Structure 1
């Protein structure tokens, strides 16, 4: 790997020997080359607007105050951005979401009256108006089918129940189901809950 030292033009600077030794040790800690180290030092002073010949006290305090003002400004901008995003969510996203739910069979209007009903329950002085809940036809048909299936399952289970009278003790019921049938009913109940 060839270094690109030949592409740069170098220039010599005369400085005291003690300062050169100190700068070399400082440069080893901070950067790969002396040029990079010196450049980063100059960039630091220029960017912060510091003058090395003056005392740092006043200029550092001024820089801190500038940074504080920048921070406060950025916080205000962030808060404004958050307010805009919340406004978009309330005025644009939620209505679109409600339309999509209504399109796919979920009735978005049934949720709003439930919230109103809860609020009215807290105010017991006002009478609670009756709320008419509408369910889409497809959802009603699916619920009816599920109810019929559950009724059939319960009828099947009740057909498998037998009363057993023992010679000692009380009579008890015996359920004659195979393990696979029992697992099927458990899965069905878990899916419907």
Structure 2
């Protein structure tokens, strides 16, 4: 069996470590060994900063998204809507046209009745 050694920690640090160790590992020794291995294998120092956290990155993304939305709304107000209004005014026909087209609608509807009909047998009718 392995022997144990006592290491002196401040009370608050020891309690934090014990709580962390209980939630993630079976024993305090396993927790400490895993943490040391992590730092050793990844060649990092516990004092290093890894950069922005997920929260700060999310906040920055939300700011940029809000800025993009504001830009899109401004483009819509200043460019898209006036352009659409100008195009509509160009294509809008003013006044009523009373002259009929070359092919009147009434004439084309009357001739619609002609089509395929069932052939009646006229020889056997009484």
Q: Same fold (TM over 0.5)?
A: no
| Bigger fraction of residues in helix | 1
Q: Which has the higher contact order (CA 8 A, sep 6+)?
A: 1
TM-score by length of 2: 0.39
TM-score by length of 1: 0.26
Task: State the structure with more CA Rg.
Answer: 2
